[in-house]
Structure 1
Amino acid sequence: MKNDDGARKRLKISVPHFNNSDLIKGYSKTLIGRCMNPEEQNVKFLVVTLPKIWNLEDKVVGTDLGLGRFQFDFDAEEDIETVLKMQPFHFDYWMISLVRWQPRKTKNYPSEITFWIKVLGVPLEFWEAPTFQSIGDALGVTKDVDLDYGRVQVTVDGYKELIFETTVDFKGGEYYEEEEAPVTLRYEKLFGYCKTCFSLCHKMEKCLQTIQSTDKPKEIRDEDESHYDDKARSYKGVVINGNGGQQDRVREKREYQGKGKGKMFEEGEKKLG
């Protein structure tokens, strides 16, 4: 059927009211996740591999929901809390969002990612919780402040571009008269983002700004270009690929090799030969 403008009308279906309270309760121990760059991430192997990394193979059931989304059903609440404390997570060298299931959600749900962010450049006379709290609030939702290491834990929207540099205006306090201090932000356990627009959702080669612009990409900082193997050691458990780290994308022609197979090493442990 078409409307007066000649455009095809979309079918709308109405579901009558029914009691879904028991259904909602059944998801009380469920985590919902999303691959931020699904073109580069294999969800089918993700749902098998993550429980191994968490040491919960017999306590968690993973399901591929399609369109880069997935869910994990847990047996125990304490296991959920343990997993969420290990954030952020990555797979195939790109970030994933993993949150508690909720019945009312936004269009892009889930997209939350919780990072510890080290803040460089804060004047010592303002090295106090309100400073780091204000920085965290500007980036997302502040969860915690660590003054010993000069960092703030923030839940950010994975669909928004990352902020690596900004300025902080200190309006009050002694020896400071509304001057701005430049600060640099370093995201711990950060994997995979566009070096042009700082998006978590695509490679630089597929960025519209890269394709359309003849200008050089934004400057890439040295700390962001560390070798993946070095950055992976900040992750609680590192999966050593059986194929030497090479990612073979031709999965239709041969069996998937290495993803999630191998040994996990805690931070600081010596890898065995």
Structure 2
Amino acid sequence: MAQRYSKQEKAKWLDSSSKPKRRSPLRILESENSALIAENKFTLLGRVTNPQIQRPRALVEYMVQYWNLENRVIGRELGPERFFFRFETEADLQLVLKKAPYHFKKWMFILQRWEPIVSEAFPAFIPFWIKVNDIPMHHCTELTLNTIGQALGPVIDKDLSDGRIRVNINGLEPLEMKIPIRLPTGEVTTVFLEYEKLEKHCFSCFSLSHEEKACPLKPLVSNKESRIPGINQEKTLQNLEDGKRRQDARRSNWPARREEVPKSVEGPRGKEHFNSRRSDHREKSDYPSAYSHRHREPRRDFSPQDCSRRDYSRPASYNFRRDSVRSGFDLHPHDRSHPRRIACDEEIQSSSHNLVSGRRSQHLPSSRDLL
């Protein structure tokens, strides 16, 4: 009879015990958090629209300096996409929101006032000023602008003189570039939306999270169709071109600034000018410097350690006091009864006593005096 194998032995299925167990949600009990809510009442929660390009930590550091609020705001990253800014006053918070929208690395980012809610879709709104083009002149009223704005999102403000509306736009969804409207007379026309301060976005689906070449909704066609860019696309391309032109201008001006250094001052490596400034600073400084004693006369102070460093081969005219002490060790290093060795020992004891008592030796006999 043929041997039968179990399902485990045949490995045709995985044992339920080997499957990873999925932990059920851990229940958090309700606690007193009113102090935390009050602490974050002046907080803005933010989100980057393109995490592959924008880094929350770098964004926080840059925007704190850009707003000039280093001592009045605290910022921190909250993962790969989110971050927050906590202000000290309501006035600083409103000032930042008033100047929105903002961008970092040429991509927009979301900045919304914090609320005690938990949602993957929070924050999401970007306050854009939108100019509505091609509205019939006899229908360009506050009601018309308000109706168009409410179709886009919550309306914050209106500017009837320029035909603009300030609307909270959902930055997680593609932007709308045009809207068909039906007039009271029954005619249907199309109005075009011009977003102010809009930076890079997809020219195909109008999303803020990727470029056109990475668009997942871009139609796959072999021949690239010619498409006329809209108002927002033209402005974005113009902004990118202006930024590149300014960057090239800064790079071209950099060598010219280096050539302004005088030839007589600039050394072979171009650092003589800075070295001269450092030397002038040292000469004027009241603090002691190692460079300020290079050209002084050698000190005649006696040190017992010099007996082990001085070479007798040097002439007696050079620091004769040290030669006289050292000569006893060179000629008779082991003879304690030699007159030169005895005189050297006496001089060492006398000089050491003078150094301890605060007096300096004025003169020591030369080698000819010891003979």
Map 1:32-47 → 2, pairs under 5 A: 32-47=45-60
Aligned CA RMSD, in angstroms, stands at 2.7
Which residue number corresponds to residue 96 of structure 1? 109
Matched, 1:163 2:156: no
Query: How far does residue 152 in structure 1 lie from its aligned partner after superposition?
Result: 0.7
Report if the CA contact (8 A) 1:195-1:218 is conserved: no
Alpha-carbon distance in structure 2 between the residues aligned to 1:93 and 1:48? 16
Alpha-carbon distance in structure 1 between the residues aligned to 2:88 and 2:247? 28
Matched, 1:63 2:72: no
Alpha-carbon distance in structure 2 between the residues aligned to 1:230 and 1:21? 50
TM-score computed with the length of structure 2 as normaliser: 0.57
Which residue number corresponds to residue 144 of structure 1? 157
Alpha-carbon distance in structure 1 between the residues aligned to 2:249 and 2:24? 48
In structure 2, relative to structure 1, the CA distance for the partners of 1:91 and 1:241 (3 Å cut) is farther
Matched, 1:9 2:22: yes
1:224 to 233, 255, 273: 233
2:204 to 196, 206, 210: 196
More helix by share: 2
Matched, 1:129 2:142: yes
What SS does structure 2 have at the residue aligned with 1:96? Answer: strand
In structure 2, relative to structure 1, the CA distance for the partners of 1:63 and 1:240 (3 Å cut) is farther
More strand by share: 1
What SS does structure 2 have at the residue aligned with 1:13? Answer: coil
Identity of aligned residues (%): 33
Unaligned runs of 5+ in 2: 1-14, 252-371
Query: How far does residue 143 in structure 1 lie from its aligned partner after superposition?
Result: 1.1
Q: Deviations over 1:27-79 (max 9, x none)?
A: 11111000011111122211011122212122111101112111001111100
Query: How far does residue 106 in structure 1 lie from its aligned partner after superposition?
Result: 3.2
Unaligned runs of 5+ in 1: 172-176, 233-238, 245-273
Between 1 and 2, higher relative CO (CA 8 Å, sep ≥ 6) is seen in 1
In structure 2, relative to structure 1, the CA distance for the partners of 1:143 and 1:231 (3 Å cut) is farther
What SS does structure 2 have at the residue aligned with 1:50? Answer: helix
Query: How far does residue 178 in structure 1 lie from its aligned partner after superposition?
Result: 1.0
Report if the CA contact (8 A) 2:55-2:80 is conserved: no
Alpha-carbon distance in structure 1 between the residues aligned to 2:248 and 2:76? 23
- In the comparison of the two structures, how many residue pairs are matched? 231
Q: Deviations over 1:211-250 (max 9, x none)?
A: 7455648642255233225787xxxxxx989986xxxxxx
Which residue number corresponds to residue 271 of structure 1? none
In structure 2, relative to structure 1, the CA distance for the partners of 1:213 and 1:200 (3 Å cut) is farther
In structure 2, relative to structure 1, the CA distance for the partners of 1:105 and 1:151 (3 Å cut) is farther
Q: What letter is aligned with 1:228?
A: N
Q: What letter is aligned with 1:204?
A: E
Alpha-carbon distance in structure 2 between the residues aligned to 1:38 and 1:125? 45
Alpha-carbon distance in structure 2 between the residues aligned to 1:22 and 1:217? 58
TM-score computed with the length of structure 1 as normaliser: 0.77
Q: Decide which structure has the larger Cα Rg and report it.
A: 2
